[in-house]
Amino acid sequence: MKKMKALSVIAALSMLACSVSCSSNNTDTDSTKPTEAKTEAITEAVDVPELDGYNLLWNDEFSGSALDETKWNYEPHEPGWTNEELQEYTTSTDNVFVRDGKLVIKAIKSEKNGKDYYTSGKVTGQNKTDFTYGKVVVSAKVPEGQGLWPAIWMMPKDESFYGQWPKCGEIDIMEVLGNDVSTAYGTLHYGEPHGEQQGTWGLTGQTYADSFHEYSVEWEPGEFRWYIDGNLYNTVNDWFTAVQGEDEKPYPAPFDQPFFVQLNLAVGGTWPGNPDATTDFDKAEFEVDYVRVYQKPEYDTNVKKPEKEFRKALEDGNFIFNGDFSEAEDLTDDVNWKFLLFNGGEGAAEIKDNMIVITSEKEGTEDYSVQLVQPDLPMIKGKKYRVTFDAYADEERDIIVCVSAPSAGWIRYLKDTKLKVTPEKQTFTYDFEMKDKDDNNGRLEFNLGHRGSTATVYISNVRVEEIS
């Protein structure tokens, strides 16, 4: 059984990218061992917790007076470089600096040519602290404010090795939107076509802007696991990469190559939206207490991609479980129905009298701000499906229904379809053909947010079935 020998202690940072990259390319694994002299020179000042089964690979406690450029690069970019973001990433110490033992990335609002202008910071470990497989642990506190978008994430040292994004892969350890600082996201991106798998961890009675929280990911040859404050909230072991129309690269590509950690604070963009009058830039600071990367002494790289399991229909042909709402459910877990709130949406859902009743206090800023979903629907290329349900509302209003692909870039198998519900119960029917790659994680969505109404909605008799 093939194994890759990982570094047992911190290696000299100048050797790090080469040693791990070489080991992943099947060269002599003994070459990954650092010399005793270099190990002692670097580890004398290290005083961080030990993790059972892991050795410390590298870390930064930000105990100096400035950014340690033996470990980090400034990465400047012009506005609009990606995701339609507004900020210019600079090398200025106004945007990136160390204060009281913490790295601070600060977004600044100014004016240029008579218009609002934003600067911020992004730092990366590319070509300095690259590694393959390990556990990344980061303690951070995020800023609150519309349009602010802090992130802890990883990209490959050589983005062209499997092809440009998303073929190269991306590991998002943490993202939080400044207008919803009670929810954090951990996501894996890959493809092509673009696939992604995302988990969320929400807080009640506190936010990620109130205090420091610890975000971590465990990256192994055949699995990723995301944690927040020690709570496991997302596990992914099924991914791929390919050029459109060609065979997939051997698993576990693209996540079998050196990656690096990066930290940034974006302003605006397609996901968080732009800042508004409520955004306080005096407090627009993303603070990082430490970054620690650990590795196991060895990893088994002889892994196989798990076979997809596809949900079987019930005896009556329905792929929706508890579609008649005859059973009470925990609507916060990942079993059958799940009720979700995002981006300012406020409301509740309750199963009673063989229907689900969705009440809204605030509609939020997105269609999905108030949302009822059921995942794990089997979507097979070439098959035709029918979605049916009954619905009514306390007063006339719109809702949106779709079948989405949370593991395949959120494409739509049944397109977003706006429908009008009234105080009179109606039956709605929609047919669609599955034209994309087989997916065992199709998701039926009812989206009630951002529709200009908070009227209560009643849904019953939900079915998704295969038709000839």
Tokens 């079993």, residue located: 335
40 is catalytic: no
CB 65: neighbour CB atoms within 10 A?
8
- On whether the CB atoms of residues 389 and 320 are closer than 8 A, the answer is no
Helix residue ranges per DSSP H, 84-198: none
- On whether the CB atoms of residues 466 and 384 are closer than 8 A, the answer is yes
399 closest CA partner among 374, 371, 439: 371
- On whether the CB atoms of residues 107 and 281 are closer than 8 A, the answer is yes
Cα 385–chain centre separation: 29
Helix residue ranges per DSSP H, 158-216: none
Spatial distance between the Cα atoms of 9 and 11, rounded to a whole number of angstroms:
6
Residues 6 or more apart whose Cβ sits within 8 Å of residue 322 = 329, 336, 337
466 is catalytic: no
Spatial distance between the Cα atoms of 98 and 76, rounded to a whole number of angstroms:
18
Tokens 């040693």, residue located: 19
Active-site pick, 175, 220, 287, 366: 175
Structure tokens at 396: 């006339």
Active-site pick, 61, 85, 88, 170: 170
Q: For the chain, state the CA radius of gyration.
A: 24
Burial class (CB in 10 A: 0-12, 13-18, 19+), 165: middle
Cα 36–chain centre separation: 39
Strand order in the sheet with 73-74: 73-74, 122-124, 259-267, 148-156, 170-175, 183-190, 195-202
> Which residues are tagged catalytic?
170, 175
